[in-house]
Amino acid sequence: MTLGPVMLDLCGTELSAEERELLRHPQVGGVILFARNFESTQQLIALTQAIHAARQPPLLIAVDHEGGRVQRFREGFTRIPPMRRLGEIWVDHPQRARRLVHQIGYVMGAELRACGVDFSFAPVLDLDYGESQVIGDRAFHRDPQCVAELAHHLMLGLKEAGMAAVGKHFPGHGFVIADSHLAIPVDERNYIDMLIDDIEPFRQMIDYGLPAIMPAHVIYPKVDEQPAGFSAKWLKGILRGELGFDGVIFSDDLSMEGAKAGGDVLTSGQAALAAGCDMVLLCNDPASAKTLLDGLKAAMPPVSLARLTRMHGKPHPPSLTQLHEDPHYVDAVHAIGGIGQGSGDLPLDVVPVR
């Protein structure tokens, strides 16, 4: 059995019998974890082992673990500051900011890998225009060059820890005020304006070898009437064609309000895959999971399977105990501890923020 094109979530801290059966469905290819799936590092390790043992090849396991407001696992994990803090440091001390964000990527990736998580949906490549209801301090900066530089070093830190990076939310979610979890945002800007600003970090990160991208549930009517995640113009024409991206494209959550422009969950899932996504996400809607899986007619193209296979985490480190005794890790954690947490300590897990 190969990986399927759907990533689902779970209800609790261990697999139920129904979930074990669901994960064996041929259309399933991955699992995304949330705070409700976490009690402790040992429990998390047991859960990821059970998910990986459910079938062969093992399903991908992902999480939203950016830092600040969006860090699903807290107890036993290093608190990661919001990325805006790194952008603030970059203004006066760019080299220090690059070094710190590399250490953040390493610590974040190493801790997740030690617990069996394959990858995190990070970094955010959106620009901080200061008005977005959902992006806010998750973004590094308003300056595209700052975002590209710091995201590159975060990706390098993740790679050192054995983890692939996922840039989001293409082609840029930071300009619109509306939250795509609750509304269907519309960005009226011209493509050329976006190319100079919001798309620039994605372009540079693609050149650096970014393994995966998640598009935004935002409509850009000057380019296409469909949200970017359902638009072949954006995904096949611009992202794959003009920008030359050859990594994985993950849809954002199909249960979000911003996805409803694509129709019901089955229609939107098929539309996202047809537009160019390699894998679609469905979260916090267990009643619709079976509908999507049983109704989906899309077969996994060999090129998508090859891309997704590269998202499996690399072996590093063998255990949390060994990680905690590693001088490189200890030094990195100490460096991160010196960055102010500020508003990033506020919890944000009531909606599946990606």
pLDDT at 344: 39
Angle at the Cα of 319 from the Cα atoms of 317 and 322, rounded to 5 degrees: 80
Indicate whether 311 belongs to any domain. yes
Q: Residue 342: is its pLDDT beyond 60?
A: no
- The answer to whether residue 348 scores a pLDDT higher than 50 is no
Q: Taking 80 as the threshold, does the pLDDT of residue 258 lie above it?
A: no
Q: Does 274 fall in a domain?
A: yes
269-301 as b/e, with b when 16 or more CB fall inside 10 Å? Answer: bbbbbebbbbbbbbbebeebbeebbeebebebe
Helices marked H in the chain = 17-23, 41-53, 83-92, 94-114, 144-160, 191-196, 199-207, 232, 265-275, 286-295, 302-309, 320-324, 327-337
Q: What tokens appear for 9 in the block?
A: 């979530």
| Any domain includes 99 | yes
Q: What range defines the domain where residue 88 resides?
A: 6-345
CATH code, domain with 154 = 3.20.20.300
112-156 pLDDT, tens digit each: 999 999 999 999 999 999 988 789 999 999 999 999 999 999 999
Give me the pLDDT at residue 262, please. 61
- At residue 1, the pLDDT reads 79
- Tell me the catalytic residues: 181, 252
**Token duo for residue 204:** 């540079």
**What's the CA gap between 1 and 25, in Å, rounded?**
10
| Proportion of the chain above pLDDT 70, given as a percent | 93
pTM summary value: 0.93
- Is 354 within the bounds of a domain? no
Residue 11 lies in a domain: yes
In a domain, 181, yes or no: yes
Structure tokens of 310? 């590269």
* Number of domains comprising the chain: 1
The pLDDT tens digits for 202-246 are 999 999 999 999 999 999 999 999 999 999 999 999 999 999 999
Give residue-wise pLDDT tens across range 264-291.
Answer: 899 999 999 999 999 999 999 988 999 9
The pLDDT mean for the chain works out to 92
Residues 48-66 pLDDT 10s = 999 999 999 999 999 999 9
Q: Give domain status of residue 350, yes or no.
A: no
Domain presence at residue 351: no
Q: How confident is the model at residue 340 (pLDDT cuts 50, 70, 90)?
A: low
